[in-house]
Amino acid sequence: MKFDAHGSYQLSLRNNVIVMTVSGEWNKEAAEQAFSDIRALLPKITTSTFGKIIDARQWSLGTPEFQYFTKQALQDLVEKGLRCEAYIVLWVKVCLKKNKLDQ
């Protein structure tokens, strides 16, 4: 069964680095759209390798199907030249929750 995509993203390419801002709760269909758009950017990369930065400060989570698909799609990008991937996350919330649990 095919579902509507849940989750949103914005993509840009800067100096052979794919910059992606993600938000919301993601399912496999959203990941399929995102990776299709990423693959469409690949011909614009002017080097044999590239990087990716993901701003995940507004991202919630993903379904198990999303996680499985993403793992496979990332391997495909590695084979196409992805050498480094960095995430921007809101770790402060996690630390605050952990501190509250420790009290």
Tokens of 72: 């496979």
Mean pLDDT of 66-86: 95
Tokens 């379904």 correspond to 63
Domains identified in the chain and CATH numbers: 8-102 (3.30.750.24)
pTM, full prediction: 0.81
Give the model confidence (pLDDT) of 52-67 as tens digits.
999 999 998 899 999 9
Mean pLDDT of 37-51: 96
Measure the CA–CA gap between 77 and 61, rounded to whole angstroms: 21
Helices (H), the chain: 28-41, 64-79, 91-102
More confident residue, 98 or 9: 9
